[in-house]
Chains A and B, each alone.
Chain A
Amino acid sequence: MSDTVLNCGYVPLVDCAPLVIAKELGFAAEEGLSLNLLRQPSWSALRDLLAAGHLDAAQMLSPMPVAMSMGLGGMPARIDTLMVLSVNGTVFGVSNALRAELGPVLFGDADALLAALAARGGAPLRIGVPFHYSMHRLLLSYWTSAAPGLAIEEITVPPPRMADAVADGFVDAFWVGEPWGSLAVHQSVAELMMTGRDVWQFAPEKVLAARHDWVEANEDIVRRLMRAIYQAAAWLDTPRNKPLAVEILGRSEHLSLSPYLIDPALTGHLSPSPTASPAVVPRFLQFHNHAASFPWRSQAAWIADQLGADVGGMEKAKACFRSDLYRRNLSGIGADMPGASEKEEGALRVETDVASTRGHMILAPDAFFDGRTFDFSSENR
């Protein structure tokens, strides 16, 4: 029997790793799938091709399926999130000029950084983000809204050009996924101030998305695809595999990035500036552990809330995070999963033992920088 060919769209960032590993290490082939990985020049292009059926599945920014399902953006469509591909993995950096104005701020101190930026005054801060419907932009809005006096201007910059944009003074700061933050540091044009998890400790970053109709019509293929990606994510989060993962991703035609740019994200050893020693950021980029790939409906609800959803929009958002499919399709391969499909986002300050389908599992902290919690379950709304 020949393999089923699936056209999968992706954007060449370190966190497309589960797709590349599923293909290169044969996890897809084991499920009788041949992944045809198609690199996309922009998130808009990827979105259009997915919505129009030219792509079967795609890596997406986690807010994209939510926004599209709510009818927002340039191409509304019913898009499902099959699973989360990666948690965290983004960085916030500032230009050398802005850094000089901020005074001493410790790497990763979201409160002190916000206070320093707000105290600066002057013209609105121009901040580069990759896409309007991105976790980067949502975290930026959430974080800066705690400082009402801080004026910011959000500027969309294609990530590969972020380092140039900050070098040319086109933006003062940026929120971007790896390797583009490390590249800016490597080129001595910016300093990293914190990572995305300093604002939200467990933010769903990229997701595996497909059209709702296609998902409903291709039950078996969807199951095989999810299994393949699940295995790839588990492999990626096994510490002893990391050096090999860096090598495979570095050699892969799909990324065309040097290993030295891939290593920081996968190992969590980030250099905030060319002269600083690397900071160790636990769970900087998580693919599998702590139920990272589980699509919590409450994560979709948080995204929808940030996008200004009404009650109807909230329901659509929750429904597009397919925790039901995750349970149905992955229980057969022994995947452990949480007992509930929603949690109170932000409530976990430390690693916490919770009930799971196989007994109990440890969830990672998911607190927000300001300590707020979000409960979107219907009885609390």
Chain B
Amino acid sequence: MPRGGPNVGHMIQNLRILVVEPNPERVREIVDALSEAGWSDVKALAQISALDRTVKDFAPDIVLIDLANPDRDTLEHISYATETTKRAVALFVDQTDDDLTQAALNAGVSAYVVDGLKMERIKAVLQTAIARFKIMRQMQSELDAAKQALEDRKTIDRAKGILMRQRGMSEDDAYNLLRKTAMGQNKKVIDVAQALVTAAELLS
């Protein structure tokens, strides 16, 4: 039984949703979010090469795909080739709804809507997808930030090592020199460290 969700009712039931996404974890996130909001007829597809057949067999009403997925161009093409699929997958959301288009773009979701669906029906699905994509994007950027911080730390350690070796400094002094230089040049410590590491590589 569908539960929660503002628009649950006979209107939006039996909407078939196809999610194109190679990452199983992300698929689970999206499918969970959709089923929590009341849509259970959801299918996930990792490989676009099977899309042609899947669209024909599963006959989805909406196809959801990450904006950054390179397979989007293939999906676009399949949407023009109506004679092979019979059911045209058309439209990138609905261009008349500018706010929804913007929200989808910002969250990184693209939706392909099959012919003849009313915008109100699509909207609820999209809003759920947008909310979920936003969270996933947030998690991704946090993960990226953590990775970057780790990389920066390694570079700074290498720069400190170079100073310690070449100028016989203690670790604290080496770090303080990097910091002072950065402040003097109005740069970040990581930039100075990177420059030092690059210079050392060139000279070695």
A42 B80 Cβ-Cβ under 8 A: no
Q: Interface-forming stretch among A69-77, A213-221, A281-289? A: A69-77
Give the docked Cα–Cα distance between A75 and B69 (Å). 17
State the Cβ distance, A281 to closest chain B Cβ, in Å.
27
CB-CB under 8 A for A42 and B49, given A48-B67, A154-B77: no
| Interface range, B side | 20 to 34
**Does A41 belong to the interface (CB within 8 Å)?**
yes
- Say which residue of A48, A154, A170 sits within 8 Å of B110 (CB atoms): A48
**Does B199 belong to the interface (CB within 8 Å)?**
no
Chain B residue at smallest Cβ distance from A45: B67
- Say which residue of A41, A54, A76, A157 sits within 8 Å of B74 (CB atoms): A157
State the Cβ distance, A3 to closest chain B Cβ, in Å.
18
**Does B202 belong to the interface (CB within 8 Å)?**
no
State the Cβ distance, B79 to closest chain A Cβ, in Å.
7
Binary per-residue interface labels of chain B (156-199) against chain A in the complex, 1 for a CB within 8 Å, 0 otherwise: 00000000000000000000000000000000000000000000
Give the docked Cα–Cα distance between A188 and B79 (Å). 33
Give the docked Cα–Cα distance between A254 and B176 (Å). 34
B95 A44 Cβ-Cβ under 8 A: no
B72 A45 Cβ-Cβ under 8 A: yes
- Say which residue of B71, B73, B79, B92 sits within 8 Å of A131 (CB atoms): B73
A76 B95 Cβ-Cβ under 8 A: yes
State the Cβ distance, B28 to closest chain A Cβ, in Å.
22
Looking at B67, B76, B80, B101, the one whose CB has the most chain A CB atoms below 10 A away is B76
B76 A158 Cβ-Cβ under 8 A: no
A44 B73 Cβ-Cβ under 8 A: yes
Binary per-residue interface labels of chain B (46-78) against chain A in the complex, 1 for a CB within 8 Å, 0 otherwise: 000100000000000000000111111111111
**Does B91 belong to the interface (CB within 8 Å)?**
yes
**Does B105 belong to the interface (CB within 8 Å)?**
yes
Binary per-residue interface labels of chain A (230-258) against chain B in the complex, 1 for a CB within 8 Å, 0 otherwise: 00000000000000000000000000000
**Does B102 belong to the interface (CB within 8 Å)?**
yes
| Interface range, A side | 20 to 34
A:63-84 near B, CB below 8 Å: 73-76
Chain B interface (Cβ within 8 Å of chain A)?
49, 67-80, 90-92, 95, 101-102, 105, 110, 112
A161 B92 Cβ-Cβ under 8 A: no
A74 B69 Cβ-Cβ under 8 A: no
CB-CB under 8 A for A160 and B70, given A74-B91, A75-B95: yes
State the Cβ distance, A153 to closest chain B Cβ, in Å.
9
Contacts of A44 in B (CB 8 A): 72-73, 75-76, 92, 110
Chain A residue at smallest Cβ distance from B79: A74
- Say which residue of A54, A132, A161, A170 sits within 8 Å of B77 (CB atoms): A132
- Say which residue of B69, B92, B105, B112 sits within 8 Å of A42 (CB atoms): B69
A52 B101 Cβ-Cβ under 8 A: yes
Looking at B72, B78, B90, B91, the one whose CB has the most chain A CB atoms below 10 A away is B72
Ordered nearest first, which 7 A-B pairs have the shortest CB separation?
A: A156-B77, A158-B70, A44-B72, A156-B74, A42-B72, A74-B92, A42-B73
Interface of B is mostly: helix
Chain A interface (Cβ within 8 Å of chain B)?
41-45, 48-49, 52, 54, 73-76, 130-132, 154-158, 160-161, 170
A42 B79 Cβ-Cβ under 8 A: no
Contacts of A75 in B (CB 8 A): 92, 95
Give the docked Cα–Cα distance between A45 and B74 (Å). 12
Contacts of A130 in B (CB 8 A): 73
Give the docked Cα–Cα distance between A74 and B110 (Å). 11
Known: A41-B72, A74-B79, A76-B95; 12 extra A-B contacts, CB below 8 A, are: A42-B69, A42-B70, A42-B73, A45-B110, A52-B102, A52-B105, A73-B80, A74-B76, A132-B73, A132-B77, A158-B70, A170-B49
Give the docked Cα–Cα distance between A52 and B105 (Å). 8
B70 A48 Cβ-Cβ under 8 A: no
Give the docked Cα–Cα distance between A76 and B110 (Å). 15
Listed A/B pairs (15) with beta-carbon separation below 8 Å: A41-B70, A42-B69, A42-B72, A44-B110, A48-B110, A52-B101, A74-B91, A74-B112, A154-B77, A156-B73, A156-B74, A156-B76, A157-B74, A158-B74, A160-B70
Contacts of B76 in A (CB 8 A): 44, 73-74, 131-132, 156
Contacts of B101 in A (CB 8 A): 52
State the Cβ distance, B136 to closest chain A Cβ, in Å.
16
Contacts of B67 in A (CB 8 A): 41, 45, 48
State the Cβ distance, A156 to closest chain B Cβ, in Å.
4
B70 A161 Cβ-Cβ under 8 A: yes
Chain B residue at smallest Cβ distance from A156: B77
Chain B residue at smallest Cβ distance from A74: B92
Contacts of B102 in A (CB 8 A): 52
Contacts of B71 in A (CB 8 A): 42, 158
Contacts of B70 in A (CB 8 A): 41-42, 158, 160-161
Give the docked Cα–Cα distance between A170 and B52 (Å). 13
Chain A residue at smallest Cβ distance from B74: A156
Give the docked Cα–Cα distance between A44 and B104 (Å). 14
State the Cβ distance, A176 to closest chain B Cβ, in Å.
12
State the Cβ distance, B117 to closest chain A Cβ, in Å.
15
